[in-house]
Structure 1
Amino acid sequence: MNRALPQEVLDQIELEHQHFAAAPQAFFEAWKRGARIAGAEWFGDGTREGLQRATTKWDLRPNLLMLNDALGVLSSGQRMFLSAMVSFYNAREGGAMFKRCGFEGLSDLGGLDLERRKVIADLTLNYNGW
């Protein structure tokens, strides 16, 4: 017996396919927005020109050594935002940064302003691995 899937199931499958096909570019756009907000100095070659020229997430890898060195002098909001971004690049490094800063869970992201929350939400929604 050949039974077709209900139309709503097929529609959901198609929506998910479209979303995940577009996710890598959407992730990059959110990542670049986040790098612009946080400051070009923390990503890629550390310059605004490098940020402008970036065409992939690889062009904007976080500078982990510099970030870890500066963690103690950044504001609480900067530390939280940068730690969250780093956690998409490297979960272990991002988790260690969160721990060093005293952040315990996702509810701590409630301390971010709307612009930064939207970046983290878009990164989460479109994450497809680094």
Structure 2
Amino acid sequence: MTQSLPQDVLDLIALEELHFSQAPEGFFKAWKRGAEIAGPEWFGDGTPEGLQGATNKWDLRPRVPLLNDALNVLSGGQRMFLSAMVSFYNAREGGAMLRRCGFEGLSDLGGLDLERRKVIADLVLNYSGW
């Protein structure tokens, strides 16, 4: 005997499928916004032209060695924001950077301004792996 699922459950499944089919593009848009906010020097080829011409997240990989070297001279908010972004690209590197910033948990992201919080929230919402 086959029993069908209630319509509200089917609607929820369809909504989730739609979200996750669009998530990679949503992630890229949020990532690019984050790179624009932080500055092109930290991503991809490090140029404004590279940032503007990027068509996917791979074009805007974080420049992790450069970021690690500069971490101590960036402002607290910039360190936290960039480290959080790196953690999507490489959990180990990003986690180490966050620890260096004194990050102890998600509530520490409360120190970010609204624009940066929205980027991090959109990255979390749309993350489907690097």
TM range (shorter): over 0.9
Unpaired stretches in structure 1, ≥5 consecutive residues:
none
The 5 A counterparts of 1:35-114 are: 35-114=35-114
RMSD, aligned CA:
0.4
TM-score (ref. length: structure 1): 0.99
Shift in Å, 1:8: 0.5
Aligned residues: 130
2:78 alignment partner, SS class: helix
- The superposition leaves residues 49-70 of structure 1 with CA deviations (integer Å, 9 ceiling, x where unpaired) of 0000000000000000100000
Query: What percentage of residue pairs aligned between the two structures are identical?
Result: 78
Unpaired stretches in structure 2, ≥5 consecutive residues:
none
| Distance in structure 1 (CA, Å) of the matches to 2:8 and 2:21 | 20
- The superposition leaves residues 68-93 of structure 1 with CA deviations (integer Å, 9 ceiling, x where unpaired) of 00000000000000000000000000
Tell me the amino acid that sits aligned with residue 8 of structure 2. Answer: E
- The superposition leaves residues 86-119 of structure 1 with CA deviations (integer Å, 9 ceiling, x where unpaired) of 0000000000001111111110000000000000
- The superposition leaves residues 19-51 of structure 1 with CA deviations (integer Å, 9 ceiling, x where unpaired) of 000000000000000000000000000000000
Question: Is residue 2:30 matched to residue 1:30?
Answer: yes
Runs of 4+ deviating beyond 3 Å: none
